[in-house]
Chain A
C-alpha cells in the first residue's frame, strides 16, 4: 500500500462509522481533502449492525447506501481500512500521525466473486453478529461492506486454507504474505469519531450474563431480529433454540450506575421501546414485552414513539431496577426479582428471554494522543479538545445527534485548515 499524499490542507477522520463517514463526506462536499481511517475491514460501524432505527423503524443500511454513494462519487475522500492511529504529534494546523495498517491479505484485484469463501473450510466467530454465529475465514463482512472486497482472517494465514483461497482466486487477489505496514500522515486537523463500546454485560453480576444463556444484550437482540442475522430474524433462545415470546427488557444495564457507568447512555430507553416492536413483528399477538426502567428517557419528539408503545397492549412497563435474575435450571427460563417502586409491589416474574439494554462505554483508548485532549468523568472526549470529537466518541448520542455532531466537527476542522491556508479572507 502506498501512503496517500496528505498535507496541512488535509483533514483526518478517525473512525468509519456513521459519524466518521458523515464528518468526512460533509467536509469533502465542501471541497476539502479528507482521509477516512477505519480499523475494521469495512466502513459502516455499529449502525450497519442495527436492524432498524427508532422512531421510524426504518433501516440503517438505507442511509449507509446513500453515504456510500456519496463516497464513491467523491474523490476528495480517501478511505484506509484496517488502519489504526498509533501516535499523534504536533498541533492544530500541523499534525503528524503514525498509522498502522493491518493486512487484509486480499488486494484491489478482488471482485467479491466469493470463490475464496467457497474454497476455505475453517470458521471463526462472526464479529458482525456479535459472535452469535460463525463465518468462513475468507469472508465479506456483510453485503453492504465497503470496500466491497473479501478479507482473509489472520487465523487462516499459514494454514492450508490460505493456500486453498489463493488457488480459488482467478484474479490473483489473495496474498497471504501481506505484512503490517506503518505510515506517517501530515494533516491539518483531526476528527475523532471512534464511536463507542457496549458495556461488558458480564460485569453486571446479578443479571447473570455469561452464566445464563438466555440473558443477552440489546446488540445481540438487534442481530437476532434482523432477517439477515444469525437466526434469520427469528427471536430464538440461545439455550434451546425455542422461539422466545415473553421477553424482558432491563434498562440501565450498566448505565446510571456508579459501580459501572456513571452516565446515562441516552439511547437505551428508545432502543428497548423499538425492540418491543420487533417482538410484535416476530411473534404478533403472542409476543409480550416487559420493560423494567427507572425513568423512561424518550427525549424531545421521541416522546411520540414512547406514547405509541405505551398504548401497545403487548408491552408492560415496570418502574424498577431489577435486583437479580435467577435461572430455572430445567426450563432455562429466568425469574426476575425486584420491586415495582410505584407503590411498592414485589415481583418474581418469569420470562423466557432477557435483553439487557447495555450502556455506551467510551471507545477503548491506548492511543498516544496529545495531552490537551480532555475527557469527562466517563472518559468521553470533551469540547475544547484540540482534536475534534464527533459522535459517540464525545458522549452517548443517538444516530441523529451523532450526525449533527459530526457535521459540526467537519466545520471546526475546515476552520483550522482554512486558517492554515490563510484562505479565510479569500473565500
Chain B
C-alpha cells in the first residue's frame, strides 16, 4: 500500500448527536488527531453513509479510517472495508449508553467522547494493514500418528476430502485395538447385539487408497517445523529414518489398557481365569477360530458362569488407580456378556456395577442385554478369590443391602483406558514417573517433545466450545489419547480432527491465524537487533510457537502462532509487535488523551480490557445502561497476556491516576482463550509494585481483576468502586511532569 491517508468519520445516529457535540469531536479529529479527511454523518451505517466512506477510499485514496460510532462489535457488516486499515471509537455503548443523560455530567461525557476520538486517531496512525505471514507454508499433506480406528478414520476421511496422507503405525499391522475385538458395540440401530467392527473394511480402504502412504513398524524420531512445513523423521524397524514433509498432524496414538496386575484384590494377575475386557476378546476370538465355545483358561473346563466387574481400577478416589470413568466399559461388558448368552443362553452372566452408564441409545443395548438374560446387580466388589478353578466374587449388594457372592468360571475386570500421550512436558523430565514415558512426537519445540496434557495424562482441550484446542497449532489429538471414549465417538472425533488438520494447512498456506483469532493476517514481527535473548517470549508463548536458535535468539514460527501477543507483552525491550497491534499502537493512545491537571478533580483511569470477555461485558453494560464513571478510558487488548508493562509505566508517568486491567478468569478452570494470558498479566503486575514505589506511587494505582463476559452489571460496579478508591487516595502526583 502506498503512503498513508487518514480519515475520521463521526456518526450522529443513535442519539449521539442529541447527547454530544459531534462538531467538537470532528474538530478534535482534525486539529489534534490530524486526520486528513473528517466527516460527520447523521446515520453512518446506512447505505449512504457507508457509500460515503467507500467513495473516499476510492476517490480520495483514503488508507486509514477511524470511525467514531457504535462499538466495534456492532454493525460489522456495514463497516467492512478489508482493503484499508480500520479502527473504531466506541461512542455509543462506551459513552452515551454508559453515561447518565443530564446536563451536569454533559461536560465530562463530552470529554470522554473527545478522548476516544483522540485515541482512535492516535491508534490508526500506528496501524498497518496486515499482509499475512511472509514465508507462507504450503505443504498440505496430513500426517496421522497411529493406525487404529481413530488414526485410520482420520486418514481415510482426509484422503476422501482430497488430501495426501501419511500414516505412521508402530505395530507391524494396522487396526490397533479394534482389530483385537471379536465384535463391537453397535453404533446405529438396531441396538440389540454385538456388531461387526468394520475395521478390516477400513484397513482395506486405507491400504488401497491412492492418496494414503503407510509406514508400519515405525515411530516418530523427530518432528520439527510448523503447520504447512513440518519436517518429520520416521524411524523404521531397522532404526533407519526417512523424512516426510507434512502440513499438519493428527495424533491418534490411542490408549493402553490399565494393568490388571495392579488389581490383585480383584484377582488381577492371580489366576488365568481373571481377565480384562481385552483378554476376554482374545479368548472369544481364539474360541471362534477353533469353532468351539470359550473355555476356562486354567483347565480348559466348561464356562458356565461369567462375572463382569465394572469400574475395576477406575473412578478411584484413593489416588491409587484411575480417577476417571472410561465411558465405554458398561456397554462393552454388556456386549461381552451377550457373546456368552448368544452362544448359549444357559451360561450365567452377571454384571456388577455401581452406576450403569449406557447413555443415548445405549439404553436400548442395556435392555437387550437384560432381555437376553444378563443379570445386572448394583454392587461394590470387595474381593475376587481365585483359589481353584472357580473364582468367587465378593461384593456388597447395594440393592439388597447385604454381602453377596458369585461363583464364576471366568471373571472379567472392566479396566480403564490409559492415554498414550507421551511425555508430560509440564513437569521436568527428571521428575517424570519412574516408567520414563516414551515421546510420541519428539517435537523439537522449545517447550517440549509432546502435546501439553490437560489432566490425568489426557491431551484433551480445556475448552467446552472448542474441543480441538491442543495448544499446538496444526497438531490435533484424536480418539482415546484425548479423552476416554468408545469406538463410535472415536470415529467422530477422528473425523473432526481431520477437518482441523485440513483447516490448519489451508490457514498456513495463506499465512492466516487459526482459532480463536481465525483469519487474522497479522503476525509477530521482531527487531532482533534490539533483542537481549532474555527468552521470556520463548518461555511464555502459550502455543510453543517460538523456538531459539543456537545463539539463543527467538525464532518465530508464524504458522504456529495464534496472534495473542503474549510475547509482545513479555518483551522487556519491546522489540516484538504486530502490524496492527503494537506497544506503540496502544502506547500512543495512552499518551493521546487530554490529561486534566491535578486540581481539576477529574482523575483519569485507564482500563485495559480483554477483547474476548471483558470488552463485550462492558458493551453489554452500556446496552443495559449500567452507568460507570466518566473518568475511565477503555482500551481493548487481544489478551491481558499482551499487555506490556511499559504501557502501565507510561500511563503513570503521563499522569493517569489509576490503571485497571480486566482479564479472563485464571486458575484451574481458567477461561482465558489464550490459556495463560490473564495469569501471566496477574503475575507481571504483582512485580510492578516496586516500580510504583520508585515512582513514589501507591500500589493501588494499578489493579487487575477477573471478569466474565456475563458480568455486565459487575464491570460497572468494579469501575465505580475503583474510581472511588482513586478519589480516596487522591490525584496522581505525576501530573504535569510528562
Contacts and interface: CB of A to CB of B under 8 A. Distances in A.
Interface of A: 18, 25-26, 29-31, 53, 56-67, 69-70, 72-75, 108-109, 111-113, 143, 147-148, 170-171, 226-228, 256, 262-266, 295-304, 307, 319, 341-344, 374, 376-378, 380, 382-384, 395-397, 399-401, 403-405, 407-408, 410-412, 414-415, 418, 423-427
Given A29-B507, A66-B673, A342 B398 contact: yes
Given A300-B483, A380-B361, 17 more contacts: A29-B507, A59-B708, A62-B709, A66-B465, A66-B515, A70-B519, A111-B75, A112-B74, A227-B710, A295-B353, A296-B355, A302-B325, A307-B317, A400-B464, A407-B500, A412-B157, A418-B161
Contact of B710 (A59, A109, A374, A383): A59
Interface stretch (B118-126, B337-345, B429-437, B453-461): B453-461
B61 interface: no
A29 B496 contact: no
B358 A63 contact: no
B359 A297 contact: yes
Contacts of A227: 710, 713
A29 B359 contact: no
A59 B623 CA distance: 19
Contacts of A304: 323-324, 455
B499 interface: yes
B445 interface: no
Interface string B515-529: 110110000000000
A30 B483 contact: no
B467 A303 contact: no
A57 B499 contact: no
30 contacts: A29-B503, A29-B519, A30-B506, A53-B464, A58-B671, A65-B709, A66-B515, A70-B516, A72-B76, A111-B13, A113-B13, A148-B74, A171-B46, A226-B710, A227-B713, A262-B364, A264-B358, A264-B360, A301-B458, A344-B401, A376-B188, A377-B190, A382-B188, A399-B465, A400-B464, A401-B489, A411-B502, A415-B157, A418-B161, A427-B162
Contacts of B45: 111
Interface size class of B (residues with CB under 8 A): 35 or more
Contact of A342 (B160, B362, B399): B399
Interface in B668-720: 669, 671, 673, 708-710, 712-713
Interface in B575-626: 612-613, 616, 620, 623-624
A113 B157 contact: no
B493 A384 contact: no
B437 to A, nearest CB: 20
Contacts of B14: 111, 113
A408 B162 contact: no
B518 A411 contact: no
B471 to A, nearest CB: 16
A377 B361 contact: yes
A39 B157 CA distance: 31
Nearest to A73: B519
Contacts of A396: 359-360
Given A62-B708, A300-B485, A414 B13 contact: no
A65 B713 contact: no
Contact of A427 (B163, B378, B484, B713): B163
Given A26-B503, A264-B363, A301-B458, A377 B189 contact: yes
Nearest to B402: A343
A112 B483 CA distance: 43
Interface string B347-375: 00000010111111111100000000000
A26 B211 CA distance: 23
Given A111-B75, A113-B15, A301-B458, A414 B188 contact: no
Given A57-B669, A171-B43, A408 B496 contact: yes
A-B pairs with the 9 shortest C-beta distances?
A63-B465, A343-B401, A424-B162, A407-B496, A408-B495, A411-B499, A266-B359, A427-B162, A72-B76
Nearest to B669: A56
Nearest to B613: A62
A60 B710 CA distance: 9
B519 A74 contact: yes
Nearest to B507: A29
A70 B515 contact: yes
Interface of B: 13-15, 43, 45-46, 70, 73-77, 80, 140, 157, 160-164, 187-191, 211, 315, 317, 323-327, 353, 355-364, 378, 398-401, 455-456, 458, 460, 462-468, 483-485, 489, 492-493, 495-496, 498-500, 502-503, 506-507, 514-516, 518-519, 612-613, 616, 620, 623-624, 665, 669, 671, 673, 708-710, 712-713
B357 A299 contact: yes
Given A61-B709, A405-B496, A424 B161 contact: yes
A75 B519 CA distance: 11
A300 B400 CA distance: 28
Contacts of B708: 58-59, 62
Contacts of A300: 324-327, 483-485
B516 to A, nearest CB: 5
Greatest chain B CB density within 10 A among A30, A343, A410 is at A30
Nearest to B625: A114
A75 B369 CA distance: 51
A404 B465 contact: no
Nearest to B356: A295
Contacts of A418: 161-162
A247 B442 CA distance: 52
A418 B502 CA distance: 13
B671 A29 contact: no
Nearest to B488: A383
Nearest to A76: B519
Contacts of A319: 378, 398
A315 to B, nearest CB: 16
A399 B461 CA distance: 13
Given A65-B616, A299-B327, A170 B13 contact: yes
Contact of B464 (A56, A344, A424): A56
B709 A73 contact: no
A301 B324 contact: yes
Contacts of A295: 353, 355-357
A319 B500 CA distance: 42
Contacts of B399: 341-343
B162 A426 contact: yes
Contacts of A111: 13-14, 43, 45, 70, 74-75
Given A29-B519, A171-B43, A300-B483, A228 B325 contact: no
A21 to B, nearest CB: 10
A264 B359 contact: yes
A30 B162 CA distance: 13
Contacts of B516: 66, 69-70
Contacts of B673: 66
B499 A407 contact: yes
Nearest to B500: A407
Given A296-B355, A303-B323, A343-B398, A26 B499 contact: yes
Contacts of A112: 74
A356 B77 CA distance: 42
B709 A423 contact: no
Contacts of B191: 376-377
B518 A73 contact: yes
Contacts of B190: 377
Given A111-B14, A297-B355, A303-B325, A383 B187 contact: yes
A226 B498 CA distance: 37
Contacts of B669: 56-58
Nearest to B709: A62
Contacts of A148: 74-75
A383 B356 contact: no
A232 to B, nearest CB: 9
Contact of B506 (A31, A376, A403): A31
Greatest chain B CB density within 10 A among A26, A57, A426 is at A26
